A and B are shown apart, each in its own frame.
Chain A
């Protein structure tokens, strides 16, 4: 069972019910649960979207798109039913924050789903959890059943005539790609989880062809808190254009790994050295992968940066899913880069050739380097392959594989070259250009 952690610098908004037994619906109600959705029913769509916009909340799945704006894109009227889709397919290596929300505060996700439904005029929501989270699915299923029993879900919710809302829980079966919004819709429609071409965007043509709002589980769980405290108050907790707080999962070589709720814009250095207790066993920091495995690496001297979407972008990386992976001085970047690309190669759905072939060739090339058969040209080859994947695929998986790869080879080029020098095998090696030219 994941242990809860705490630190004085934490600002507890989303996590304020953690560890308090809020999986029990009565306890959740006692802790201000289901108040926000009733307020939302009373005040209506424009108010909800206004508060969400004012909150400055940006998508917690990784892309950081403003949530209020996303909700406002859904057409007011539609011939096809509208849907709310909660993305709990949490699969980005380094990320386990949604895990903790499902475990400790499932009703917040249910209430957030209802709020999103009220905002866009949907009568049905889906909560999609990755297949590995079976024990969490059971917790969510129980919470949904309890909400039905109280009359919070189903027909005439909260006793309001004609106001219906249903929630269906759904499980995946092991596929990183399904975390991508359109692939998730395919999966929920009972198909292989491959991405759809955009446009049209889900807000117009989404699940079952209807207008759909799809949000990360943490984003959705933020909504009730925002409505209760007010969008402006939530925004003020964070930094400029990055409202509120966020659950950061700090893992790897730190003394106190865990999921901590910190204000947006909080210092990455402090998150590592104060909040998570510094580098494990008194070792030195080598590098940080700051927002899940798809984010370009930061070196030890690049960590004086605020944890928000804009500051991280300025630092040449991403805030991503908020999964901060810390590497100490003993880590071989060659090995780490290989393990990273091996994951993306395994998870590439094969729909787009640059991703399918690119991840495979990078993995092969890094494997050759790792096993001692590499040449310096191989480092260029890896960079060439990654460059050619960027922006050339339907979904961001290609970019997600290319970006960290480019980060590793650009920032640690000398380490790759030294590794190659120290692990000579002497086999003649064909370059990618020669290979491509040969066809």
Chain B
């Protein structure tokens, strides 16, 4: 039984949140992880997510929105089922990061922060993801893919299209 009666989250996530608020010296410390986990389940931070998280942490919705707007991984609009995030920062740039981004744009027919019409993929140009020595690299949701070539990118996208990507949550 969750601490919130009419939760919008799955019972598993609600239970996880009930636990999460108990492990820190202050409840509010759970805010950033809760926003991320909620986004993983709901797809984005909707108004209802903001309301429930504020309630769970005894915060104003304004406090939640204030934090939400700071972090680049948190979004208030849906993304594709598979969010393709291509790094173009220096180490990736030197090894073809922009070519990989261009290839993804062409292949998916969408630009930065856009979603394919079928809702399967979205694309983002992102800053350094900490895979510099295995550049060029990208993340699809939370999965890392490195030492990329355009051929490898095609294979990776095809794997997700078929629903066979590993998709860490």
The 17 listed contacts between A and B (C-beta, < 8 Å) are A2-B134, A90-B130, A93-B89, A96-B133, A130-B130, A132-B139, A175-B70, A175-B72, A189-B29, A191-B28, A192-B66, A250-B133, A289-B90, A323-B91, A325-B94, A339-B93, A340-B90
Let me know if B4 is at the binding interface, CB within 8 A.
no
Interface size on B, residues (CB 8 A): 44
Interface centre among B31, B70, B89, B139 (most CB of A within 10 A): B70
Closest to A138 in B: B168
Let me know if A95 is at the binding interface, CB within 8 A.
yes
Interface size class of A (residues with CB under 8 A): 35 or more
Residue contact A251 to B33, C-beta cutoff 8 Å: no
Question: Do A131 and B133 contact each other (CB < 8 Å), given the known contacts A173-B32, A190-B28, A190-B30?
Answer: no
Nearest CB on A from B21, distance (A)? 11
Residue contact B143 to A347, C-beta cutoff 8 Å: no
Closest to A88 in B: B130
Q: Mark A288-306, 1 if CB is under 8 A from B, else 0.
A: 0100010000000000000
Q: In the complex, what residues of A have CB within 8 A of residue B130's CB?
A: 90-91, 95-96, 98-99, 130, 132-133
Main secondary structure of the interface of B (DSSP, over half): loop
Chain B residues close to A by CB (< 8 Å): 23-26, 28-33, 35-36, 57, 66-67, 70-74, 88-91, 93-95, 127-135, 139, 142-144, 146-147, 168-169
Q: In the complex, what residues of A have CB within 8 A of residue B57's CB?
A: 190
Contact of B71 among A138, A174, A208, A259 (CB under 8 A): A174
Residue contact A173 to B74, C-beta cutoff 8 Å: yes
Q: Mark A236-279, 1 if CB is under 8 A from B, else 0.
A: 00000000000001111100011100000000000000000000
Q: In the complex, what residues of B have CB within 8 A of residue A191's CB?
A: 28, 67
Residue contact B131 to A173, C-beta cutoff 8 Å: no
Contact of B90 among A172, A176, A252, A258 (CB under 8 A): A252
Let me know if A311 is at the binding interface, CB within 8 A.
no
Residue contact B90 to A175, C-beta cutoff 8 Å: no
Residue contact B70 to A257, C-beta cutoff 8 Å: no
**Within the assembled complex, what's the spacing in Å between the Cα atoms of A138 and B36?**
14
Let me know if A285 is at the binding interface, CB within 8 A.
no
Question: Do A190 and B72 contact each other (CB < 8 Å), given the known contacts A3-B134, A99-B131, A343-B127?
Answer: no
Q: In the complex, what residues of A have CB within 8 A of residue B144's CB?
A: 1-2, 135
Let me know if A211 is at the binding interface, CB within 8 A.
no
Let me know if A121 is at the binding interface, CB within 8 A.
no
Residue contact B33 to A193, C-beta cutoff 8 Å: no
Nearest CB on A from B153, distance (A)? 17
Let me know if A111 is at the binding interface, CB within 8 A.
no
Q: In the complex, what residues of B have CB within 8 A of residue A173's CB?
A: 32, 35-36, 71-74
**Within the assembled complex, what's the spacing in Å between the Cα atoms of A339 and B143?**
25
Interface centre among B67, B129, B133 (most CB of A within 10 A): B133
Residue contact A131 to B134, C-beta cutoff 8 Å: no
**Within the assembled complex, what's the spacing in Å between the Cα atoms of A174 and B93?**
20
Q: In the complex, what residues of B have CB within 8 A of residue A189's CB?
A: 26, 28-29
Nearest CB on A from B155, distance (A)? 16
